[in-house]
Amino acid sequence: MKRIPFNVPPFLGTEEKNIRRVIQNHKISGDGEFTKKCNLALERITGSKKALMTTSGTAALEMAAILADIKPGDEVIMPSYTFVSTANAFVLRGARIVFVDIRPDTLNIDEKLIEQAISPKTKAIVPVHYAGVGCEMDTICDIAKRHNLIVIEDAAQGVNAFYKGRALGSIGDYGCFSFHETKNYSSGEGGAILINNEEDIERAEIIREKGTNRSKFFRGQVDKYTWVDVGSSYLQSELNCAYLYAQLEDPEIINNGRLKSWNMYNEFLKPLADKGLMETMYVPENCFHNAHMYYIKVKNYDERTKLLAHLKANDIFAVFHYIPLHTSLAGQRFGTFFGKDEFTTNESERLIRLPLYYGLKRNEIEYIVEVIKNYYK
Ligand SMILES: *Cc1c(COP(=O)(O)O)cnc(C)c1O
């Protein structure tokens, strides 16, 4: 068996034709034909009022933090088990991060612990849909409503995934997607923000266009284009959007491929889970996930180190994931863990992500599972 990488960026074949078209159009900056097509495709998938392509998932989170008017001294609640950008976006606006423990089953923020972490300074809650499996959004939105807080979904891993029939990213006030090379749909680097309230759309367009009303000017709604608010350069290039659109045009091609792989892993690893040797993924019944990830949880940190080495010795590149933010240098400086870290550190130390990408073959998955079974022999 040849070497199995952890990730291969998605490529369907139609990307090249789209990129050639962009070059021929002589329009390679943002908001051209393919940017608009991507925006529309995302609105179709999610039902959101407005999708705007951004340079990255990080940029989408930064835009959301500006839209939410986060100011120095504000507090923002999120899990510690997440990517640095979830926190950075708010730290950049001067906020203090309040980390809340995760649920051991989905590794998402434990919705039952959020309310205790709210203080008079709390401004927003940022649920992260880990592995494309939805957080308990009904509870989270209800808490937010009662305390007048903004909900920003970090749905970087959740494109084309659903909670109770609603697309991840479309449920809170803002949703943030990533199209990084490691995500289900990709443009190399890229992202999008979903604006779920009509009244925020105009300001979002301004923030994305360096704080100018350029979008309105191009639509002929104002006769001057000028500086009207804070903002930055968050607009995705047409070249990237052309690559991405090939995959968003029919998102089910990639989705079906990934789900097939995910289901195979789940079926083939079940005997090991049944024997209590490891835990496989849990997906709540009300969630349609997008097979962003297939992870297993082994006994402890030591066993993880050994199994990862065993996989590597057999040319399989599996990886662990987040080091909890509250244990990092910056996390300690910019945040506080609220309550007890019962699951965040423990669960993060025993998690292994197995190779999963569009085009991964059945015999490769069988080989990976065989190698894992050999480890437990
Ligand atoms: C990938 C990811 C991001 C950042 O996305 P980029 O496009 O790489 O900036 C943010 N949050 C989570 C949970 C992610 O998985």
Q: Phi first, then psi: give them for residue 40, nearest 5 degrees.
A: -65, -40
Q: In angstroms, what is the span from residue 4 Cα to ligand 1's centroid? A: 23
7, 55, 85, best to mutate for ligand 1 pocket (most atoms within 8 Å of CB): 85
Residues with C-beta less than 6 Å from any ligand 1 atom = 56-58, 82-83, 85-86, 128, 154, 156-157, 178, 180, 191
Distance between CA atoms of residues 334 and 73, nearest Å: 11
Q: Decide: helix, strand or coil at residue 109.
A: strand
54, 56, 82, 83, best to mutate for ligand 1 pocket (most atoms within 8 Å of CB): 83
Distance between CA atoms of residues 308 and 89, nearest Å: 32
Ligand 1 atom closest to Cα of residue 191: 7
pLDDT for 2 equals 87
pLDDT for 302 equals 98
Q: In angstroms, what is the span from residue 84 Cα to ligand 1's centroid? A: 8
Q: In angstroms, what is the span from residue 313 Cα to ligand 1's centroid? A: 29
**What digits encode the pLDDT tens for the residues 190-229?**
999 999 999 999 999 999 999 999 888 888 898 888 999 9
Residues 6+ apart with CB under 8 A from 266: 280, 281, 294
Q: Phi first, then psi: give them for residue 351, nearest 5 degrees.
A: -95, 140
Instruction: Tell me the pairing of strands 96-100 and 335-337.
Output: parallel
Q: In angstroms, what is the span from residue 156 Cα to ligand 1's centroid? A: 5
Q: In angstroms, what is the span from residue 242 Cα to ligand 1's centroid? A: 20
Ligand 1 atom closest to Cα of residue 190: 7
pLDDT for 223 equals 86
Give CA 43 to chain center in angstroms: 17
CA distances from residue 76 to 103, 150, 171, 226, 320 in whole angstroms, order as listed: 19, 9, 18, 32, 26
Ligand 1 atom closest to Cα of residue 182: 1
Whose alpha carbon is nearest atom 5 of ligand 1?
57
Ligand 1 atom closest to Cα of residue 56: 7
**What digits encode the pLDDT tens for the residues 254-279?**
999 999 999 999 999 999 999 999 99
Q: In angstroms, what is the span from residue 218 Cα to ligand 1's centroid? A: 31
Ligand 1 atom closest to Cα of residue 189: 7
Q: In angstroms, what is the span from residue 193 Cα to ligand 1's centroid? A: 12
Q: For residue 194, what are the β-bridge partners?
A: 51, 175
CA distances from residue 110 to 97, 107, 113, 140, 155 in whole angstroms, order as listed: 16, 8, 6, 10, 16
List the structure tokens of 4.
């199995």
Q: Are 351 and 321 in contact (CB under 8 A)?
A: yes
**What digits encode the pLDDT tens for the residues 85-100?**
999 999 999 999 999 9
Q: In angstroms, what is the span from residue 222 Cα to ligand 1's centroid? A: 35
**DSSP string for 190-229:** -EEEEE-SGGGHHHHHHHHBTTB-HHHHHTTS-S---B-S
* Residues of the chain under the 50 pLDDT cut: none
Q: Are 321 and 345 in contact (CB under 8 A)?
A: no
Ligand 1 atom closest to Cα of residue 58: 9
